[in-house]
Homo-oligomer: A and B are copies of this chain.
Amino acid sequence: MTSKNSLTIRDIARMAKVSHTTVSRVLNNDPRVQEKTKKRILDLVNKLGFKPDARARNLALKKSNLIGLVVTDIRNPFYGDLARGIEDKAHQLGYNVIFCSTDHKADRMESYVNLMLDVGVDGFVFASSRLHEPAIENLIEKRFPLVLVNRKLKSENYSYVVLDNFKGAYDITKHLIDSGYRRIAIIDGPSNVFTGLERLKGYQRALKDHDIDVRPDYIFQGNFARATGYEGASRLLMMKDRPEAIFSGSDYIAMGVFDAIEELGLKIPEDLALVGFDDTEFASNQRIRLTTVSQREYTMGGLGVQILIDYIENKEMGYVHKVVLESKLVIRESCGCKLRRNGARAAAASG
């Protein structure tokens, strides 16, 4: 072969003096073939290094064993972890993964979905989606196999695997409150995205439950990226009554907050308590020690494809799986709770 293996099962058949169907049977482990015939064919196949053409098989079976993965940006380590979880499970189940990054742009979403549909993917894992996403809703309506991971839409008629973002945000905000902070700001992703919205809600609810005013000027929204953290922190820390604590909607945002803080010469946690969300490698670095919320994105990804493939392979049972994973608070140093525990107790008692 020069690059296309030009041998076909008919060639093998001719050489083995059988019909091509028999060869096909051998290759598919069909029991209806005599042992010695099977051996003769297999020997030839091995000797010649014959590989059946996947394109032909795909066509005949109407199947590609390909899964489309849609993320916001594969460069973001969060999606890297997710992708790896998906990849491992998919390979284990005999599927390959094709991916694309939408950057949250509607037109990219649209065209990538079409591109992947063109390729003939058997199903989709969407890890990027706004709360309202026509391209996805369209597929759901057509009952095309798909699952959302770390995302939800407004509607509920599809399968998803998400973390309990609301609770994660609530818990970490509460942790700040319990540590004695009152002036707590949030730098978050957009609220037209599930995670952004839920984290904002969790934050707001935690404040309300502890009789702390939700100040609009303590809410900064952008995307989940580092630049947003930098801008948000720069803005917030210029205020006359600047916050004592910042809850970043993602560790990546927190990274940007660190950028700003170092520039301003402030210390964490002494001058500002900072917490994040995701528990990325960055957060666990000993120089950073960011208190955050653990996501288990690898697990989410794995669960997601598993559900998807299940659906692809037994689509008659078309019911929907909704998985909500528990969030877990990961307490390190950046929240300053170890410094302020005593004050916290007092405050909690009075609240």
Contacts and interface: CB of A to CB of B under 8 A. Distances in A.
A255 interface: yes
Contacts of A191: none
Contact of A285 (B65, B73, B259, B286): B259
13 contacts: A3-B143, A3-B315, A53-B120, A55-B64, A75-B81, A76-B80, A80-B80, A83-B99, A97-B100, A98-B98, A99-B99, A258-B285, A281-B282
A351 interface: no
A66 interface: yes
Given A80-B77, A287-B288, A98 B100 contact: no
Nearest to A252: B281
A349 interface: no
Given A96-B116, A143-B2, A144-B3, A87 B101 contact: yes
Chain A: number of interface residues, binned into ranges? 35 or more
Given A74-B87, A76-B80, A282-B285, 7 more contacts: A51-B117, A55-B59, A55-B120, A66-B98, A87-B99, A99-B99, A259-B285
Interface in A35-88: 51, 53-56, 58-59, 62, 64-66, 73-77, 79-81, 83-84, 87-88
Interface of A: 1-4, 51, 53-56, 58-59, 62, 64-66, 73-77, 79-81, 83-84, 87-88, 91, 96-101, 112, 115-120, 142-145, 226, 255, 258-263, 281-282, 285-288, 315
Given A84-B74, A282-B282, A98 B97 contact: yes
Contacts of A101: 84, 87-88
A53 B61 CA distance: 12
Contacts of A285: 255, 258-259, 282
Contacts of A53: 59, 120
Nearest to A54: B120
A145 B3 contact: yes
The 5 A-B pairs with the shortest beta carbon distances in the complex, nearest first, are: A262-B286, A54-B120, A259-B286, A75-B80, A55-B59
Contacts of A59: 53, 55-56, 58-59
A113 to B, nearest CB: 11
B80 A84 contact: no
A81 B76 CA distance: 9
Given A58-B55, A145-B3, A287-B287, A91 B112 contact: yes
Contacts of A119: 54, 64-66, 96
A87 B73 CA distance: 10
Contacts of A287: 258-259, 261-262, 287-288
Contacts of A116: 96
Contacts of A255: 281, 285
Contacts of A64: 55, 119
A258 B282 contact: no
